[in-house]
Structure 1
């Protein structure tokens, strides 16, 4: 038998109890029932459960039925009530509920005058409230997330009253604004086409949002996470083995560490949405701008950086970083590793790709950048690992400080100090 859950339990209990007019307690001793338990508890969504001192109880579910005549609406309510019996084991704080020959067991986690928290047989935590006249409080901060509906529409709510909406059939998301009326638990969404949608929030948890729309239809949305890309995000990223940024996830704490030259690295919390956007918590708030992740693989991370002044969104820059291997050993393999597939790097200015391909038989390299293809002569000293490009009498000297079948670091030294360089991968 399935056990009760806050999101689906209520209807399940009703179905189990249909046709049961009375039950007898199968245990002669109902146990030392806590006095705080003896009352009516509100379970949400118009459902109540009452525990009596004699080991009996009543479950009540109320449905509202609305009918529309012309422009006027009237409402009627139907109420279904079912009886059950129960006992209490003090040593394990277990409630055993007997229902028409079936048994359910709840473990009491917290019991006060106002709140009852129980854990069902599947380990799910359910919270009940003493006040049966009103809905439990809505923690609106739980709304700040990305949600997907049963029809595959995706909504993102930021904490500044802005967000996005993407219908299932659309290829991109549109901006929305929203406001929340706490007194009426009403969420109003404004779309770019002028359409206004009003939802009454029925319940809101870390992973489930239940609402009632303008037409009285109930909708269930769940937290949406596109984890395929986020798992690839974690690790160190930079150039030539020097980290620029690092993403970590330690026990659910998502952090981004920024390395700025010789300055001390600093770390901030980050979050992400279903559209591959990364937001940072700085100056005691989530910043208005974000990083748009265009591509993340085992090798590269490509990002567009956007800033916002509250009204306008501006693209500030683009960058492509390389994943720093662990451990990052500076080994230089045989010259033969230079040849074969193309090597790929990216422009510092706009993140556009740069490719080169060594041709051993011609002692030249084909360099492609910004759609232009150029051919350079080169020489390579396998002892000093010096690589020299020559074009139109001009030379550019690099030192290969790492060369594997997959990674190549080309360094430029000035007065014996690493001044610049490029990193290439065989992608």
Structure 2
């Protein structure tokens, strides 16, 4: 099966950034407006209401959303620097981004504690509860989807512990929101962050924090620890002027608004189902190639699969060979470096793109195993060739 590549086009099989819908390209150059005028107030209000719909929140007055010009890390730092006041913070970490939460919290909160598990390993709830029994904690923070491994951490279990011990539960939902359900009320989540450029499917550069209105109101009693990322200031501007405290990246707001419209037009639940089906298709295809996954499928998020590299394959070589056909994947980081590669399935992606990826992955693996020899026929005889299409019914690709 041959795929015709547009010059300089890349197929982003990554957890973000992603290939965006065509109508976002039009939205990003939609109009020149001033961020201190009614047009921006309306735009920001529309985005807030659409994010509340994405979270399937019915009691709208109980939650508000602030939008920040900055990546998901900016939203996380905004929460960690603004919510705890002088109280103790407990960070639950089982990967790269849990470690980032811990490092960020330590900058802003003198009393930061960390319960750390190896990357890709689940939390021990009894250990967490024992810690909470012995320490008075104001805030518990956790990454929902730990991208370094692909693990989806349990919101409802940690939220229940936070509620039992009188702590606020804040969640890094940067890479899960838009692909996985996040029940703010049911999981006792006080604040949750996310990003424009992951499962929501827009351009990089914006993030947001959705939170309980009552908890936003309490932030004014805390002394600010930052200037740009003061969550209380963002909330005050939102509620008094309908604007942001600093000059926003207005074109990205137009694009985010369109991306949210796309999701709501498709239907939130259907959107989740489509992303999960893509993941299942990719995983079935990679299993047919005798590849093995880092973690059990039951623990995986629906946006990403982390795959063990066969012993005879160099991951950088594999990535280079895929890139030659415009396919971009991630390599492992930290303790997973040179041991895994990662395949995302969010953004604009078709069934044909998935087939194209899997067939290129098979060839790239064969070439890597052949030691750089492009003649892969000898090794192909012992390799489980992928057959995803009835060749007599293969669709034309233009």
Give the shorter-chain TM-score range: under 0.3
- Which structure is larger by alpha-carbon Rg, 1 or 2? 1
Higher-RCO chain (CA-CA 8 Å, sequence separation at least 6): 2
